[in-house]
Amino acid sequence: MFDVQASKVEFVNKGQNYIRDIVDSDLKELDVKKKLKVKTGFCFVKNVDAIAITVPTPLDMYKQPCLKYLMCLSKII
């Protein structure tokens, strides 16, 4: 897992949940089994087979998604 916000990374690395849709016990189980690694840097990207990108996609006045966050991230990667 990757996040640009260091506070979120710190929470998850401590086994603490900040996402409502994830049950705390599930997060702790992943942490105990060492199945979750959370980082803030992009250096890991060269060692993975796939990336799931989740960024905000607010809608404009025509109900079309704003892709600026996705475009920015794709340039960084």
User: How many structural domains is the chain composed of?
Assistant: 2
- Model pTM score: 0.58
Instruction: Name 53's Cβ contacts closer than 8 Å, sequence gap at least 6.
Output: 70, 73, 74
The dihedral through the CA atoms of 58, 64, 69, 70 has a sign that is: positive
Tell whether 15 and 32 lie within a shared domain. Answer: yes
Tell whether 64 and 29 lie within a shared domain. Answer: no
Instruction: Name 44's Cβ contacts closer than 8 Å, sequence gap at least 6.
Output: 2, 37
Instruction: Provide the residue range defining the domain that includes 13.
Output: 1-41
Tell whether 57 and 37 lie within a shared domain. Answer: no
Tell whether 7 and 37 lie within a shared domain. Answer: yes
pLDDT one-digit tens code per residue, 13-52: 877 778 777 777 877 777 677 777 788 877 878 888 888 7
Tell whether 24 and 56 lie within a shared domain. Answer: no
Tell whether 37 and 57 lie within a shared domain. Answer: no
Q: Taking the C-alpha atoms of 53, 56, 61 and 67 in order, what is their torsion angle to the nearest 10 degrees? A: -40
Q: Please report the pLDDT score of residue 12 as a whole number.
A: 81
Tell whether 30 and 61 lie within a shared domain. Answer: no
